[in-house]
Amino acid sequence: MNSDTGSQGSKKPLRVYHGGQSAYAPATQNKPTRASHTGAPTTGPKIKYPDPMRPQKAQSPTPTSQPMQRPTPRTQASLPNSSIKHVKRPLGTGDEIEDDEVIELHDTMHTEQAQPKAKSKSNKRYSMPRSRPAVGSASATRPGTQKEIPEVTGDTWRIIPLGGVEEIGMNMTVIENKDDIFVIDAGFRFKEEATPGVDYILPNTKYLEERKHKIRALFITHGHLDHIGALPYIIEKLGMPPVYTRNLTSLMLKKRQAEFPNIPPLNFVLIQGNEKLIIGNTKVQFYGVTHSIPDSMGIIIDTPYGWITTPGDFKLDHKDGIPTEEEETNYQLFDGKNVLLLLGESTNVENPGFSTPESVVHENLDEIVRTMTGRMIMGMFASHAFRIAKVIEACEKYGKKVVIEGRSMKNNVDIMIQAGVLKVQKGTIISSQEMAHHAPDKIVVLATGAQGDEFAALMRMATKQHKYVILSERDTVLLSSSIIPGNEKAVQKIKDNIARLGARIIHYRTSDVFIHATGHANRGEIEWLHKKLRPKFFMPMHGPHYFLKMHAELAYNLGMPKENVIVPDDCSILEIQDGGTKFVKLPVKAPDNVVMVDGFTVGDIQDVVLRDRQILAEDGIFVVVAMMNAHNGRLIKSPDIISRGSVYLRESQELLREIRTLVRTTIEQAAYQMGPHSIDYIKDITSDTLGKFIFQETAKRPIIIPVVLLV
C-alpha cells in the first residue's frame, strides 16, 4: 500500500524484547520550522488590538472633540506579543460533549475536509499557554515559572497524562521509571471556537523530547484519532520509538502516514492476543477490549509492586449486564492479580447503567436491510468498522448490493478487508455508476457525513451535488449516529435538505429501534471494570474535569480511600513512591502549553495570530491610506478608507465622511507638531484616535491599519 518497510508483510511480527530506538531514527531531531510570526511587520503598518473586555455599546455619539471620555483602546505598545489574557479559550470544556462520537465524527471530518495533504514539510505548529479556570493547583505552574522537574529515581513509577484529562481527545499518557519511558497513545483534538483557523490541537511533548533517550515504546490502544491523531506530528521528535499496536491500527496508521511523506516509515511491533513482552527492563502485557473499532487493546505494565493498566477506550458487549464469553476470557488475566494502578476512561461516566450493546444495533440494521422496500442510504461514521461490516454482511444475506460513498469510508473498508476483519464476497460492493443496473430495493449506500459535514458524501447527495446519487421520495436515509454537540445545526440542515427532496429519514433520535450505540462504557460497565480489577490506586482519564471527578466519586463509592485516587490535569506529574505504597501528585507539572496545527503551515503560532483571527472574525478590519506631502505634512487628497467585516461603508456615508475628516485632521495636526518625518508617531496617533471614534460610533473594535505614504 505504501513504501513502509515495517513488519507488516511478514506473518510473524518482529519481536523486540529490548526496546530502544528505532533503526529509522534520524540523526538529527527537533528542528521544527520556527517561523517568526508576529502580528505586524516591524516596518509595516501599526496594528491596534482592541480591549478584550468589550464594554457595552456607547450610549450616544458625542462630539469627537472629547475622545478621551471613551474607553481607551489598547495600543500595540501596551500589548506585547506574549500577552494572551484575552484569548477566550475555554480549554477542556466538557459541557460540549455528551457522547463519544467526537472521535468517530472527527475521523470523517479529518479525512474528508481537513486533510493536510502532504503538507507536513510546511505544517505550522502553534503553541499557546493554556487558560483554564483556576482550580486548586492547576494554575500553580505557568510558563516561565516552571520549577525544575526532578528525574525519576529509585523505585518510583511516574505517570504523566500529557492530554485527555481535561478534555475529550488528545489522549497521551507517559509511564516512566528510572530506566524506561513508555508512552500510551498519541491523540489530538479538534479546533475550538477560540482557535479560529487551527485544525488540530496536540499534547505538549516537550517533557518526552527532553527524555527521548529513555523512550522504549509508543503503545497505541486503537485507531481512533483521539489516540493516533498526533502521531505524525510528534513521532520524529520522540526519536521514532517503535510503535506497539494491533494489525488494524497499524494499517490505519500507515494509511495516515502516507500523507506525511517526509516522516520515516514507522517501526511497528504487531501485538496479538494477550501477548507478553519484555521491553527495556519492563514486562508488558496486552489484552483485547471491546470498542467501536476492532483491534482495540488494553495495556499492562508490570511493576514490582503490581500492574499499572489501562483498557484504553472500552465497553462491554454484554447481555443484560453480563459480559460476553470473549470478554470474560480477555479480562480473566486479572483474576488474582495485584493491580497497582488503573487508568480508566470516563467518557460516558455520566450515563447510568450499561450501554446499548452494538449487537442490538446489528440486529436492527439486519432487519432494516431485510425489509427495505426502496433504496437505502445509511449515514454513519467511517470508523464504525463493526457496523459497516454488519451492514455488508446483511446485504449479502439478503441479496443486496452495497455502494460505498466518501473517501474515509472507502479507505476504512479497504483497510478492514486488508486486515481481515471484513470479508466481502466478490460483486457485493458495486460502484455508484453501476447502481442503475439494479432495482432500488437491492441497493444500500453507505455514506459518510451523518453529522452534516459540508463536504461529505451525504451532504452532496442532499444538495443534489452528487454525481450519481440523487435523493428522491423513493429513498430512505438512515442516520446511524448520535449528534455531536455543536453539530446540531449542521445535522438539522442536512435533515432539512433530505426532507426537501422527499426522502424518508430514520434517525437515532427519532427512531424507537436502536440504530446507534456508543463505543464507550457507561457507569455500569465502568463499575464492572473497577470490581474486576480492584486496583489499589486510581487515576480517572479521558474526559473533562467534571467527568473525572464523577469517576473518582464512583471509585470512592466502591470503597477506594480518597488518598488513593488522584484527579489530574493535563501534564500533572503523578508518582507511585516508596515501593508502591504512596500515590502522590508532584507540585510541578510537565510543560503544558498545548500545541496547535494549522493544516497548511508549520511553525510556531504566536498568540497574536490567533487573537488577530478572533478580532477579524468579530470586529473586522479598517485600513486607512493617506498620502502626505513630505514637505508640508498636508494630505494630498482625502484618505482612502477600507473596511471589512466591521462597517458597511456604502450604507454609512455619514460615518465615512466623519472618519475621513477625523483622519485628515489627526494626521495633519500630528505632522504639524512632530514634522511629517515622524511617521510611526503619526500612525500610532491615527489608529488611537480612529479606534476611539469607531468604538464610540459602532461599539466595535476592529483591527486598524493606518498606512501613511509620503510623496
Count Cα atoms within 13 angstroms, Cβ side, for 526: 32
- Give the CA count within 13 Å in the CB-facing half-sphere of 160: 27
Question: Which C-beta is closer to Zn ion: that of 313 or that of 619?
Answer: 313
Could you say which residues in the range 313-332 bind Zn ion, by CB under 5 A?
Answer: 313
Least distance to Zn ion, CB of residue 224, Å: 4
User: Which secondary structure element, helix H or strand E, spans residue 504, and what is its range?
Assistant: strand 504-507
Is 339 or 541 the residue whose CB approaches Zn ion more closely? 541
643 — phi, psi (to 5°)? -130, 135
Q: How far is the CB of 234 from Zn ion (least distance, A)?
A: 17
Please identify, using beta-carbon distances, which residue of 224 and 692 lies nearer to Zn ion. 224
Contact 346, 551 (CB under 8 A): yes
- Shortest distance, CB of residue 548 to Zn ion, whole angstroms? 14
Between 282 and 296, CB nearer to Zn ion: 296
CA dist 450 and 105 (Å) reads: 8
Candidate list 124, 224, 246, 692; residue touching Zn ion; CB under 5 A = 224
Interior CA angle at 111 toward 108 and 112, to 5°? 80
In the list 112, 226, 569, 684, the residue contacting Zn ion (rule: CB under 5 A) is 226
Pick the piece of the chain touching Zn ion (CB under 5 A) from 223-231, 569-577, 595-603, 669-677. 223-231
Question: Using CB under 5 A as the criterion, what x/- string covers residues 200-219 for binding Zn ion?
Answer: --------------------
Closer residue to Zn ion in complex, CB, 73/169 = 169
Least Cβ distance, residue 422 to Zn ion (angstroms) = 18
In angstroms, what is the minimal distance from the CB of 507 to Zn ion?
Answer: 23
Q: Minimum Å distance from CB 101 to Zn ion? A: 10
**Residue among 87 and 175 whose Cβ is closer to Zn ion:** 175
345 vs 575 by CB, closer to Zn ion: 345
* Minimum separation from the CB atom of position 103 to Zn ion (A): 5
Which CB atom, from 312 or from 676, has the smaller least distance to Zn ion? 312
> Quick count: other Cβ atoms within 10 Å of Cβ 428?
15
Number of residues that bind Zn ion (CB under 5 A): 3
**Neighbour-count burial for 72-100, b at 16+ CB within 10 Å, e otherwise:** ebbbbeebeeeebebbebebbbbeebbbb
Nearest to 633 by CA among 708, 706, 690, 693: 708
Segment interacting with Zn ion, rule: CB under 5 A, options 311-319, 417-425, 455-463, 521-529: 311-319
Among the candidate windows 305-313, 469-477, 494-502, 617-625, which touches Zn ion by CB under 5 A? 305-313
Q: Which is nearer to Zn ion, 103 or 138 (CB)?
A: 103
Q: Which residue has the cell 436491510?
A: 369
- Is residue 552 within 8 A of residue 100, CB to CB? The reply is no
Rounded to the nearest whole angstrom, what is the least distance from the CB of residue 291 to Zn ion in the complex?
5
Contact 249/280 with Cβ under 8 angstroms? no
Among 118-126, 226-234, 401-409, 679-687, which window interacts with Zn ion (CB under 5 A)? 226-234
Distance in Å, CB of 487 to Zn ion, minimum:
18
Q: Which stretch binds Zn ion (CB under 5 A): 38-46, 271-279, 309-317, 433-441?
A: 309-317
Q: Report in angstroms how near the CB of residue 345 gets to Zn ion at its nearest.
A: 7
Contacting range for Zn ion; rule: CB under 5 A; set: 308-316, 392-400, 504-512, 650-658: 308-316
Q: Which residues does 141 contact at the CB level (< 8 Å), separation at least 6?
A: 147, 588, 589, 592
Nearer CB in complex with Zn ion: 50/543: 543
Beta-carbon contacts of residue 11 (< 8 Å; ≥ 6 apart):
none
If 0-12 CB within 10 Å is exposed, 13-18 middle and 19+ buried, where does residue 135 land?
exposed
CB of 592 closer than 8 Å to CB of 171? no
Locate 453 and state its grid cell. 459535514
DSSP codes, 29-51? ----------SS-TTS-------
Question: Given the C-alpha cell 503553541, which residue does it identify?
Answer: 127
Residue 355: CB minimum distance to Zn ion, A? 13
Q: Which residues contact 261 (CB under 8 A, 6 or more apart)?
A: 118, 120
Residue with Cβ nearer Zn ion (267 or 412): 412
Which positions lie near Zn ion, rule CB under 5 A?
224, 226, 313
